[in-house]
Amino acid sequence: MGLLVNGEWHDQWYDTESTGGHFVRQESQFRHWITKDGQPGPTGDGGFKAEPGRYHLYISYACPWASRVLMMRTLKGLEDMISISIVHPHMLEHGWTFHDYPGVIKDPVINADYMYEIYTHVDSNYSGRVTVPVLYDLKQDTIVNNESSDIIRMLTRAFDDLGAKEGDYYPEELRSEIDKMNDFVYPNINNGVYKTGFATEQSVYEKEVHHVFDALDKLETHLEHHNYLVNDQFTEADIRLFTTLVRFDKVYFGHFKCNIRQLVDYPNLWEYTRRIYHIPGIKETVNFDHIQQHYYYSHKTINPNGIVPVGPDLDFSL
Ligand SMILES: N[C@@H](CCC(=O)N[C@@H](CS)C(=O)NCC(=O)O)C(=O)O
């Protein structure tokens, strides 16, 4: 695990000392948008027109942020229009790699061994973390965007005139409600499990773990009378919550010590997670081997011997 400083790789864990034991996530730096006509999106520059075969995604099956993007690619039927690479589940002293492992798909752009080479290829002076997902423009040979929340939002409509599957997961009339739900789910659950697991002070951990479970309790009540988070319709808000929930009992409960309750103890949330898992194409985006290998083997400050647990055995059937 490390980061780039002026284009040079440094093997370095997150600094939680300067933040009093808190994990603070860095802002993503590439924020351009693919649009139907190449006009600029809400942030960044224009010039990224939706075209089949032009864009490539770098994904980790282990990563909940990258998996949102993989889900959206599947839901919109973009598999033939946007190609993918899959990184190795272990993120060690060189960060993400393309080394051999079942499920890995190599880099077609520069045949990179390491994900950081993709970042330095587009900016030889790049400083920052080398994260996935990355949306890459094969035509301009540059990174379009490395922020999953932007990428899923642009993919929901940008390729609609080129034969993408129907379905708008951020419909105009629900936007403010979806935004509100995202503003609740992101800090408390999506990033909440990370703030809990990466905390290096007892008091910080205890505060964060309660935030996670207070939020899950609220959503459990909400789902008593609703099938989905917003307007009883499957939207972006559900995609964003699902990729955290599907990892919950496998890694966050044990590895990140989010262990007040298991997800299977929440009848409504567990049923909701399994329902989304069975939407056609979605279970193929969930790779539990990569998920468990990544967290337990990569985070040596949390699990120094890298022992990967064999359980729990979860029954995802409906
Ligand atoms: N804000 C980013 C976060 C992505 C992210 O943090 N990905 C993790 C994997 S789950 C990563 O690549 N981490 C490497 C690092 O922090 O050095 C997004 O949502 O796209």
277 is catalytic: no
Return the closest-CA partner of residue 289 out of 69, 29, 123, 90: 90
Give the mean model confidence (pLDDT) for residues 259-279. 98
pLDDT digits (tens, 9 = 90+) for 97-121: 999 999 999 999 999 999 999 999 9
Residue 26 Cα to ligand 1 middle (Å): 9
Whose Cα sits closest to atom 19 in ligand 1? Answer: 148
63 is catalytic: yes
The pLDDT, as a whole number, for residue 51 is 98
Whose Cα sits closest to atom 12 in ligand 1? Answer: 131
The pLDDT, as a whole number, for residue 26 is 84
Residue 287 Cα to ligand 1 middle (Å): 17
State the burial class of residue 194 (Cβ atoms within 10 Å of its Cβ: 0-12, 13-18, 19+): middle
The pLDDT, as a whole number, for residue 173 is 98
Pocket test for ligand 1, best of 63, 131, 236, 300 (most atoms within 8 A of CB): 131
Counting atoms of ligand 1 from 1, which one is nearest the CA of 26?
1
Whose Cα sits closest to atom 11 in ligand 1? Answer: 131
ipTM of the complex: 0.98
pLDDT digits (tens, 9 = 90+) for 237-256: 999 999 999 999 999 999 99
> Beta strands of 87-127 (E only): which ranges?
none
At 49, list the tokens: 């027109």
The pLDDT, as a whole number, for residue 170 is 98
Distance of CA 306 to the CA centre of its chain: 22
Q: At what angle do helices 236-247 and 64-75 cross, to 10 degrees?
A: 130
Return the closest-CA partner of residue 7 out of 128, 129, 118, 125: 125
Counting atoms of ligand 1 from 1, which one is nearest the CA of 132?
12
The secondary structure of residue 233, as a DSSP letter, is B
147 assigned binding-site residue: yes
* Percent residues over pLDDT 90 in the chain: 94
> How far is residue 136 from each of residues 72, 91, 186, 217, measured CA to CA in Å?
16, 21, 25, 38
Using omega within 30 degrees of 0 as the cis cutoff, is the peptide bond preceding 312 cis?
A: yes
Pocket test for ligand 1, best of 32, 132, 236 (most atoms within 8 A of CB): 132
Around ligand 1, the residues with Cβ closer than 6 Å are 1, 28, 60, 63, 65, 129-133, 147-149
Give the span between the Cα atoms of 251 and 312, in whole angstroms.
9
In terms of phi and psi (left: phi > 0; alpha: psi -120 to 50; beta: otherwise), the region of 7 is left
Give the mean model confidence (pLDDT) for residues 26-35. 94
Q: Is the pLDDT of residue 39 over 80?
A: yes
How many other CB atoms are there within 10 angstroms of residue 203's CB atom? 10
Counting atoms of ligand 1 from 1, which one is nearest the CA of 68?
19
pLDDT digits (tens, 9 = 90+) for 166-184: 999 999 999 999 999 999 9
Return the closest-CA partner of residue 282 out of 83, 60, 70: 70
| Domains of the chain from N-terminus onward | 2-162 (3.40.30.10), 172-279 (1.20.1050.10)
Counting atoms of ligand 1 from 1, which one is nearest the CA of 146?
20
